[in-house]
Amino acid sequence: MAKRVVLTGGLSGGHTFPLIAVARALSKELDGDVEFLFIGSRGRFEETAMAEAGIPCRFIVTAKWRRYASVLNFIDLFKLPIALIQALWHLLWFMPDVVFSKGGAASVPIAIAAALYRIPLLIHDSDAVAGRANRFAARFAARIAIAYERAQRYFPASKVALTGNPIREEVLNGDPERGRRSLGFSADRPAILIIGGSLGAAPLNRAVVRMIPDFLAAGYQVMHITGGSNLEQVQAEAVLLGLKPGLGYVALPFLPAAELADVYALATVVISRAGAGSIAELAALAKPVILVPLSTAANGEQRENAYEIARHGGAVVIEEANLGGHILSEVIADVIAHPEKARAMGDALRKHYYHPDAAAMIARGLMTLS
């Protein structure tokens, strides 16, 4: 009889893509003799990525506790029991052998429901600072996988294993020449990649778009992944700055993994938020990275991620408030002018934060619980 596994977590690519990576690894371990069901929040990544992976979905309402005074906190108190009832129903209908959770507000009712049904739960936390949902769910979890050693302080040591972050294997197979052809770029000019995370990053976009003319004047080519919701605004600002297609600047929405792989491969240096998913993929590719942590990220997790990596020499960190002026331009120029420094940064990032067997380790953990 096929194993049944529930996947939960959301609402971002940083949660969704590792769930799919682990599902693929588990399916490989079990020769396809496994059935999956995703239960969580309804979002663009959950709907599209899970559908592409062939994983059916059931959606529940999401009750979220915000760190600031908001009437929505009061409203969401009434959503939690509804979400728990939905979780109990979906788990009863599917009755899995094990639940794998990536955290996030939507995972909390699933964790509670799994505990009530005595279904084994394995959770994974991607960041140096453990998320509140995972810290809560840890009391119900049989096993806890972490990506950063610093996260161990939030969980019972007897349950914890350091696995790293699972990544999409597709991003490892990029072709820089194919990327150049698709973007119309030249082979004799450095290429800068700017990524704000799977949901985009409006403050980062606003800051860097004003610097694009300087980047082009310095002889760089620029690939700017804005996030789908920010693309039109960035393009409008680029027009006002006189940036026209074909001049070495391309604004892109969120990219599928195969296309992103070519963009990654083409990049000489990357400017990125410090989300765990992007860091793991860049570590696999040993890319020199300038990290700009999101100042409003939950629990300060992006700042912790960024400075933990910088401590090992794997990145340069620039705070969002310091993006103006010439700091970013000077750091980029320094990295590009010193290839040996760029290689050392990429090698340190890969050494400490790339775990090629992360998905397989978590899959085997799920197998031992089911």
Whether pLDDT at 69 is above 70 = no
The CATH class that applies to domain 3-165+356-369 reads alpha beta
**pLDDT tens by residue, 162-172:** 999 999 999 99
Amino acid identity for residue 86 in this structure: Q
pLDDT, residue 78, reads 73
Q: Please state, as a whole number, how many other Cβ atoms lie within 10 Å of the Cβ of residue 81.
A: 11
Look at residue 200 and tell me whether its pLDDT is greater than 50. Answer: no
- Cβ(313)–Cβ(348) below 8 Å: yes
Check residue 247 and give left, alpha or beta (phi > 0: left; psi -120 to 50: alpha): alpha
The secondary structure of 214-254, three-state, reads HHHHCCCEEEEECCHHHHHHHHHHHHHCCCCCCCCEEEECC
Write the DSSP assignment of 138-193 as a string of letters.
TTT-SEEEESSGGGGGGS-GGGEEE------GGGGG--HHHHHHHHT--TTS-EEE
Token digits of residue 327: 């700091």
Q: CA 111, CA 99: separation in Å to the nearest integer?
A: 8
pLDDT on residue 241:
78
**Cβ contact 14:198 at 8 Å:** yes
Confidence check: pLDDT of 230 > 60: yes
CA distance 15 to 32: 23
Run of H or E residues at 22: helix 13-29
What are the boundaries of each domain within the chain? 3-165+356-369, 170-353
pLDDT reported for residue 198: 54
Distance of CA 131 to CAs 103, 254, 299, Å?
A: 7, 25, 7
Tell me how far apart the alpha carbons of residues 179 and 161 are, in angstroms, rounded to a whole number: 37
Domains 3-165+356-369 and 170-353 in one fold? yes
Which residues are CB-contacts of 27 (< 8 A; sequence separation ≥ 6)?
Answer: 34
343 CB neighbour count, 10 Å cutoff:
12
Smallest Cα–Cα separation from 19: which of 63, 55, 62? Answer: 55
Query: How many Cα atoms sit within 13 Å of 79 on the Cβ side?
Result: 15
> What would the two tokens of residue 54 be?
């062939």
User: For residue 38, what is the DSSP state?
Assistant: E
| 281-302 residue pLDDT tens | 999 999 999 999 987 666 688 8
Q: At which residue do the structure tokens 């760089």 appear?
A: 220
**78-106 tens-digit pLDDT:** 778 899 999 999 999 999 999 999 998 88
| Average per-residue pLDDT for the chain | 89
Nearest Cα residue to 290 out of 340, 235, 336: 336
Residue 192 scores a pLDDT above 90: yes
Q: Which of 43-52, 135-144, 147-156 has the lowest mean pLDDT?
A: 43-52
Instruction: Provide the terminal-to-terminal Cα distance of the chain, rounded to the nearest Å.
Output: 12
Residue recorded with tokens 């693929």: 24
Cα–Cα nearest to 40, from 57, 22, 19, 20: 57
**CA pair distance 264, 135, nearest whole angstrom:** 33
pLDDT at 48: 83
Q: Is the pLDDT of residue 47 over 90?
A: no
- Contact 124/18 with Cβ under 8 angstroms? yes
How is domain 170-353 classified at the architecture level of CATH? 3-Layer(aba) Sandwich (3.40)
Show the tokens assigned to 308: 């933990």
